[in-house]
Amino acid sequence: MNKDQLAGRVEEAKGKLKEVAGKAIGSEKLEGKGIAEQAAGKVQKTYGDVKERAKDAIKSGANKL
């Protein structure tokens, strides 16, 4: 797991907490912020996943030489 995968998962979790808190207290602003943070976290996590796959592909390609 790389830092982007970890940071993305943390951001998604924070966003989910804000979304739930916003729903609980009736704050559309907080709920919206939470949804936006979840989306940003998902993008960062996906970026980290792609980096990890690329690194693995390079390693496996180098081992074949």
pLDDT score of 63: 73
Helices marked H in the chain: 3-25, 28-63
Distance in Å from the first CA to the final CA of the chain: 26
pLDDT digits (tens, 9 = 90+) for 13-46: 999 999 999 999 999 999 999 999 999 999 999 9
Whether 65 has a pLDDT exceeding 80, the answer reads no
pLDDT digits (tens, 9 = 90+) for 52-63: 999 999 988 877
Burial class (CB in 10 A: 0-12, 13-18, 19+), 62: exposed
Q: Which has the higher per-residue pLDDT, 63 or 48?
A: 48
Q: Angle 43-54-11 (CA atoms, 0-180°, nearest 5)?
A: 25
Report how far residue 33's alpha carbon sits from residue 27's, in angstroms, rounded to the nearest whole number: 10
